[in-house]
Amino acid sequence: MNNTNEFNQFENIDAWVKCFEENDKLPKNKILCSKCKTTAVSMLRSSNLKNTLPRYNNDIRRLLTEFQCRDCRNVNKVVKTKVGGKATEDNTTSDNKPKKVSAHVVETPEEKEARAEEIRKNTPKVDLTGPKMSYDLNNKDHVKILTTNNCWKPNVYLDNGKWCDTCPLFDNCNSTLKRRKK
Ligand SMILES: [Zn+2]
């Protein structure tokens, strides 16, 4: 039998409560932390028990089932502080652990995708290899994007002695090379 089991009031809460009610003391001199269930805390001295009990409304059953060791209570405190948004007290780390990022800058996958989509939408992509293009040459806005600082039909331009007379994109072309003989 190890120490943990020796002080495990959770195995028989009723017996522990009964023992306390009848003898004004617990059957063992320590009780297990209700959270980690690994740390046994001394309740041997009657003063310790008597001082602790009022925090549980003088309910011995609550004390036995809700009592937490110091470590677990400290963990709870830290969590509460962070949830409350007061995570600014620790801007430096004494060790090399990566700093935790505050909750408000964390993006959900959906938000991240929406932001990426927004960037994609606002970034004209000029793919000079052609076949993968999703631009519609019948859409004048698309043609404008494709032809800004760029002749989209250099073969037409060059075949016609650097004139655009026969170019089908002429009306919406935004290239600085754009010109017609007539
Ligand atoms: Zn604990």
Q: Each residue of 83-95: pLDDT tens digit?
A: 554 444 444 444 5
In the reported structure, the alpha carbon of residue 71 is separated from the centroid of ligand 1 by a whole-number distance in angstroms of 6
Digitized pLDDT (tens) for each residue of the chain, 182 residues in all: 444 557 899 999 999 999 999 988 888 888 999 999 998 988 766 677 888 899 999 999 999 999 999 889 888 776 655 555 444 444 444 455 555 544 456 677 888 888 888 877 777 766 666 556 578 889 999 999 999 888 888 888 888 888 999 999 999 999 988 999 87
In the reported structure, the alpha carbon of residue 173 is separated from the centroid of ligand 1 by a whole-number distance in angstroms of 72
Rounded CA gap, 68 and 58, in Å? Answer: 16
In the reported structure, the alpha carbon of residue 93 is separated from the centroid of ligand 1 by a whole-number distance in angstroms of 25
Near ion ligand 1, which residues have CB within 5 Å? Answer: 33, 35-36, 39, 69, 72
User: Would you say 137 and 169 are in contact if contact means Cβ atoms under 8 Å apart?
Assistant: yes
In the reported structure, the alpha carbon of residue 55 is separated from the centroid of ligand 1 by a whole-number distance in angstroms of 17
In the reported structure, the alpha carbon of residue 20 is separated from the centroid of ligand 1 by a whole-number distance in angstroms of 22
Q: So what's the pLDDT on residue 81? A: 56
